[in-house]
Amino acid sequence: MLIMIFILLPSRLVKKAPRLPNFSSSATTIEAAKESPINLSRYITYLQSCAINKNLTKGKEIHSCLVVTGLLCSPFSITSLINMYSKCNQLDDALSIFNGAHDRNIFAWNAIIAGFITNGLSRSAFEFYQRMKLEGVAPDKYTLPCLIKACSDISEVVEVKKIHSGLFKIGLESNDFVSSALINFYLKFNFVQEAQQLFEELTERDVVLWNAMIIGYAQMGEVNLALRVFERMGKEGVVHSNFTLTGILSVFAMIGDVNNGRAVHGYAVKIGCESEVVVANSLIDMYGKCKSISEALRVFEMMLERDVFSWNSIISVHEQYGDHDKTLRLFERMQKAGVRSDTVTIAAVLPACSNLAALMRGREIHGYMIVNGLMKDDYGEDIVDVYVDNAVLDMYVKCGSLRDACMFFDKMRKRDVASWNIMIMGYGLHGFGDEAVNVFLHMGESSVRPDEVSFICVLSACSHAGLVDQGCKILAHMEEDHGVVPTVEHYACVVDMLGRAGRLDEAYELALGMPIEPNPVVWRAFLASCRLHGNTKLAEFALQRLLELEPEHCGSYVLMSNIYGTIGRYEEVSDIRHTMIERNVKKTPGCSWVELKSGVHVFVTVDRTHAECDCIYEELDGLYGHLHEYGYVPDARHM
């Protein structure tokens, strides 16, 4: 029974098993087994360690030892081998052990059912449960939580209700693990009344059941009910566990309630669990989603121990709020700390490289993925993770390396609509309109259907490359040929395309006659075209519409001021600046960055915070002097 408890408990509750003996090969293992009478319990301990660490090679060696020593026939050996092979994703071997066993007890059945669920085969787990019943083996308190989880995955509502109604007959009506699994099931399928009734009927409720209610309500989005259960726990004197705090923190993260989140943080400090990794990780997540980045960082810096989830959380928080430089610096710290990154880390860090155009850093991260086998499973097989692949592809495109992007795109084993869109966008951004259109046409010939974003990418590419007729044709036929209804973003692309080509009257007519009310993006694109071609009359009309729709946006004022400055109407330039001051509209400061071997250096207008600021400005002054010598005069007409 102790073995089955070990198999079915979540891995976070199981202490790390003892290290395996240092076997050099299967042959020496067998010889050692003949000469050294290791008892069965030690073999079981070694198999448990193999299961936890997914060490298939050592697990097979122990299997060989069990055969040689004649201990394979033991029910404990059978159960442990099934568990080991299942956890190592070798379900065929686990089934072979199970089917070869002459005497299959409940523990063997539990192990194989749990193995199916571990490998995502819940339907098979359910079918084996039915087979178990036909063979006259009665389920126990370890079978039913696994079975309920399988039923949850395959939406077998009727079967779960049968299990629930039969609990009294087998004496498990008050079992915490079974009740917790039932509550999770009912809340997942929105059977709130059934979950509440089951919870209230239990005479003894441990913290696991309370946590199930809180987490279940949180996952349903029933924030008030989750908070009510949490408050009731305190009133009834139930001691909160780490998972109670993580559950309630997820609620506050969901609704952006930083004040109550801080209160829970204070409570965690009071009971002395704020240093627990799972609690600290939840605090980082809560503060991040509540946009309190400095507090998230403070929690992170105070952690005595950090796991990969801690690093992923703090890195993702900074990337989500646009602090790309800090994102990369945190990633460097993570590497120096010796914490192995995973695909979640990479998916968070690569966009920072994209936004900073940090090609050298992006290549290093891609190389890190390859060297450390992040895209391979435990057996060396390639993992197809299109989300991470797309992040790599996007990085190369936005960092200006179309050659690398094309090579990577061609090698991708799976491409979704985002993969195609990234390539279309990449060609468009770099002025290769014909290539962008060709990729779009090839996409149409593949099994992937273009979506709204695909058309925005290709129309934008046509705009930047001057392919006006091609772009107008795509817009005219997108609904008929592809079933995609044009949105305001598509019309904005075509207005921009016509305007860039100097066809301002057509762009103006399209903006006024489009079947959707034009938004500020449409009019700002038109205003930019008016500035490009010096049409003040149409520009003034566009500005009027923009001020009606979005009076606080600085871009419209800047564009119009530049138009007036170009034609020498400085009084109007002054009026626009005065209007900006009156309305408290501030121009977003310019920002640039330079990538060197030492990292990415970020500079903002009038920024003097860089460590080598004096040297940099000294060099700039020297460059200005040389430019003046060659007759360069700065154009001060533009804002």
Q: Tens digits of per-residue pLDDT, 250-262?
A: 889 988 999 999 9
Q: DSSP state, 379?
A: T
Q: How far is CA 484 from CA 275, 454, 481, 519, in A?
A: 51, 10, 8, 20
538-560 residue pLDDT tens: 988 888 888 888 877 777 777 77
Least confident of 90-94, 433-437, 439-443, 627-631: 627-631
Domain 487-629 is classified in which CATH homologous superfamily? Tetratricopeptide repeat domain (1.25.40.10)
Q: Report domain extents, the chain.
A: 415-479, 487-629
Q: Please state which of the ranges 6-15, 500-509, 573-582, 585-594 shows the lowest mean pLDDT.
A: 6-15
pLDDT reading at 125 higher than 60? yes
pLDDT tens readout for residues 587-622: 666 667 677 766 677 777 767 777 777 788 788 888
Residues 355-387 as b or e (16 or more Cβ within 10 Å = b): bbbbbebbbebbebbeeeebbeeeeeeeeeeee
Q: CA torsion 110→116→122→124, rounded to 10°?
A: -90
Model confidence band, residue 28 (pLDDT cutoffs 50, 70, 90): very low
Q: Against a cut of 0.85, is the pTM above it? A: no
- 607-to-549, 596, 611, 635 alpha-carbon distances in Å: 33, 19, 11, 21
DSSP string, 544-577: HHHHHH-TT-HHHHHHHHHHHHHTT-HHHHHHHH
